[in-house]
Structure 1
């Protein structure tokens, strides 16, 4: 069952909540918190008893935990552009090796639209992309409070110009963002103005640099490897996926030699974010505005920590594309009930969700939908399928994927004298670890045909909706299953990797 967010907005306006939202007459405050490279397996509430994430777990128990949340492009720059605009990458025109965001795209982003609607807006952390024509590509002037920075930003607070004032008390950047959030909450409470606070943590992105304040949290701890860990569990995966840095990083980043040590530092960085989350929620209580503040917590993409013998992200496998998502709206029927949603959700849904919360019309060009129906009833569906995009890195790893609640299909278009174009089909409901590729299984042929049609439908959207610049239109041919690979133009696809 798919519920239209526009129908909900219409009903809301009809009963007199013109400046309000679905669950109340007063426009809520909105806090959007996003980690960088945090996978769903790093949070206790997602089933990992070996990690400590008390504040994330509490947020999930207070609100709704989403078990099938995906990032439609599993890499920082493109994912952040999709979060801000509610659109797939091919419509934002924004990613490493392709190009910066155009001003007209940014003008339709949720921070701009919310500020125009009267919200106090604030941003801190890694902005993650550049807008053409802006100083350093940043949009500081479009926020009332700014703690953002260019590029990857730094773990040393003092090296982040807009955050330097927090360096003495919080020398590591993760907690400095908690302090920034606390200050914004205090100021908004003084002004008695609804606010939208967006914080983009650098952690746990490479380079590994955990806050030494928390060195004792996982000191000497051993961690259970996932059931699909190691190269022996990746032999069935497409050769195309093994041509990029993800395959190299299994060894380069020591997942093969020092799994416990690597994961201890990764989880330590996540723990610091958890502490910062606690700082922010405590301040909401202190200011007496917690009951009218919606808190969203997620990550810009997941992260592969040794699964199938890979490391990093970008690929369509579950560990890279899926991410944690918890949403707490204290005014909603789901509040405090420890509910989980199996619905398919994506990063393109955040902008529509925040706009609907604020009573702002959702632009027609957004690909995402509001997730508010899932806060009312976590069992309903808002998507029948989502697309995953990867056009970063070696052309051989470029791919388009379609996922439904039960199935995932990827067409690997690339071929040469070492490999042929191929397909992957996983029954996620029965095989969540992606251990059995069913693309050549005779019993799965009916489902393969269905997923091929789903894939073709997503590609048709790409062909009709992609921006005409930054080399996106060409993928309408590149990803077309009906065109032999040796007839596809590939010279323009080879770019240096920049992230």
Structure 2
């Protein structure tokens, strides 16, 4: 897609549009038994990066309008604190003590990509495909080639990045289109011609066009705003250029190499204006969301389309990103890779015209692994066995029958081992579990009175602390690929 089509007009195009005010064309088939489903996933976007969650420096009018037209969740959690396991929980409905992929681990034997999702994993795409849905995935996969490839995990069409290390670059030499490589002409490691996310968006919109008369599932895991920080110098960048005081992020920084003859593909480029560039990347997400919303209206299918928006984990501090400047965590403690709220509390907005009350807000505690049972109930599919999620349909439809989680669980086997549990108002966080020299202690926080997790009350509530520790032991099933010693 040409950069010039991503214009400010697109960015603000849906402000003031209400789904109930738009006269929709009849579907060519007259009806669809099941609704279309579009799930948009940002990458490393903090909950505080969105206007309706408190952002003041970055404009996100289209995502904000989604909240005005649908339901905003205030206590939704990502599947993990980094990319691949978060996506694994989303696809399987299992938390990180059960889901097959529990970390960002590279494939063995020098193969491209990450450790593959096993072929016997039952994914959301496979469930929907069995119900007659046409399925498409456009963006960053990160769950492996071979048996883990999107085409082998239920997706009819895939366009984007399979390898998430290649997704560190927005001007890569190629993207994956099903089982082939689509060369991006001009992106040779020196020249930067085709902005990958624009190209991915082109395929996303094309998929909606081609499947407007079918029941479809479009999974859109954007690469943005994951570092590297880089953007075309277009109308969106012009909104922020010169707006902030900047400290250039140079090639002298760790894990940084610029485009040129000696570029390292999986590292990040330097950036002269990191704050303006980050803001541009977030607003670019918003522009894409606006295009998708406009497209479903243009095609006359908005009344029969569910659109969901979330982020895979908290904001990063890498590559020149500055989440503190933008209050990207909305005041929560921690960042990407943390199991404090700032690392896993996620935005979640759902629009379902004539089903979800416009402008509704819920504080129901939910997580990525709830998406599988939610969608299976919506499409009247059999709920998979051995999942950890609970359907959110009662909340979405404002019914009084919503079941609550007894607890939510996360584990992360890097950095000496980390675990967390959310149980009612209580949050248990345990770091350095496997540190043989000095094991960490389980911290306990009351999120009702201390959402910022500033005061550890484990000594004051030993029974609750002990119960959470037992949950952490119970919920962690052994994994050969991701051992938690």
Shorter-chain TM-score bucket reads: 0.7 to 0.9
- Matching residue within 411, 415, 421 for 1:402: 421
> How far, CA to CA, are the matches of 1:378 and 1:204 in structure 2?
35
SS in 2 for 1:68: strand
The answer on whether the counterparts of 2:308 and 2:348 sit within 8 Å (CA) in structure 1 is yes
User: What does the per-residue CA deviation read over 1:195-229, in whole Å, with 9 as the maximum and x for residues that have no partner?
Assistant: 00011111111111234222122223349xxxxxx
Match of 2:447 in 1: 428
1:281 aligns with 2:281: no
Question: After the TM superposition, which residues 140-289 of structure 1 pair with which residues of structure 2 at under 5 Å, given as runs?
Answer: 140=151, 142-152=154-164, 153=167, 154-156=169-171, 159-162=174-177, 164=182, 171-189=194-212, 192-213=213-234, 214-222=236-244, 262-289=274-301
Match of 2:44 in 1: 37
Question: After the TM superposition, which residues 452-463 of structure 1 pair with which residues of structure 2 at under 5 Å, given as runs?
Answer: 452-462=466-476
Unaligned 5+ segments in structure 1 are 1-23, 224-247, 250-259, 479-499
1:301 aligns with 2:302: no
The answer on whether the counterparts of 2:420 and 2:427 sit within 8 Å (CA) in structure 1 is yes
Q: 1:199 to 1:426 in 2, by over 3 A?
A: same
Unaligned 5+ segments in structure 2 are 1-30, 107-114, 187-192, 246-252, 255-271, 317-322
Match of 2:7 in 1: none
Q: 1:186 to 1:158 in 2, by over 3 A?
A: farther
Q: TM-score, normalised by structure 1?
A: 0.73
> How far, CA to CA, are the matches of 2:48 and 2:194 in structure 1?
28
Match of 1:130 in 2: 144
- Matching residue within 59, 67, 78 for 1:71: 78
User: What does the per-residue CA deviation read over 1:344-395, in whole Å, with 9 as the maximum and x for residues that have no partner?
Assistant: 1111111222222221111121111221111122885532321121113x32
> How far, CA to CA, are the matches of 1:160 and 1:468 in structure 2?
31
SS in 2 for 1:313: coil
Match of 1:111 in 2: 125
The answer on whether the counterparts of 1:344 and 1:381 sit within 8 Å (CA) in structure 2 is no
The answer on whether the counterparts of 2:333 and 2:453 sit within 8 Å (CA) in structure 1 is no
> How far, CA to CA, are the matches of 1:90 and 1:429 in structure 2?
26
- Matching residue within 309, 313, 328 for 2:336: 313
User: What does the per-residue CA deviation read over 1:438-471, in whole Å, with 9 as the maximum and x for residues that have no partner?
Assistant: 234xxxx23x422431341342132xxx255324
Match of 2:409 in 1: 387
SS in 1 for 2:444: strand
The answer on whether the counterparts of 1:71 and 1:388 sit within 8 Å (CA) in structure 2 is no
1:340 aligns with 2:340: no
Q: 1:405 to 1:52 in 2, by over 3 A?
A: farther
Q: 1:427 to 1:265 in 2, by over 3 A?
A: farther
Using the TM superposition, give the Cα deviation of residue 407 of structure 1 relative to its aligned residue in structure 2, in angstroms.
Answer: 2.0
User: What does the per-residue CA deviation read over 1:303-350, in whole Å, with 9 as the maximum and x for residues that have no partner?
Assistant: 252479998511111111111110111131x332x1111111111111
**Range with greater deviation from structure 2 (311-320 or 27-36):** 311-320
The answer on whether the counterparts of 1:28 and 1:293 sit within 8 Å (CA) in structure 2 is yes
**Paired residues, number:** 397
Match of 1:56 in 2: 63
The answer on whether the counterparts of 2:332 and 2:341 sit within 8 Å (CA) in structure 1 is no
User: What does the per-residue CA deviation read over 1:39-66, in whole Å, with 9 as the maximum and x for residues that have no partner?
Assistant: 1000000012222001110111111111
> How far, CA to CA, are the matches of 2:33 and 2:443 in structure 1?
48
Using the TM superposition, give the Cα deviation of residue 167 of structure 1 relative to its aligned residue in structure 2, in angstroms.
Answer: 7.6
> How far, CA to CA, are the matches of 2:83 and 2:300 in structure 1?
34
**Range with greater deviation from structure 2 (340-349 or 312-321):** 312-321
SS in 2 for 1:340: strand
> How far, CA to CA, are the matches of 1:295 and 1:86 in structure 2?
19
Q: 1:47 to 1:388 in 2, by over 3 A?
A: same
Q: 1:372 to 1:45 in 2, by over 3 A?
A: same
Q: TM-score, normalised by structure 2?
A: 0.74
SS in 2 for 1:212: coil
> How far, CA to CA, are the matches of 2:406 and 2:275 in structure 1?
35
Match of 2:480 in 1: 469
> How far, CA to CA, are the matches of 1:416 and 1:468 in structure 2?
20
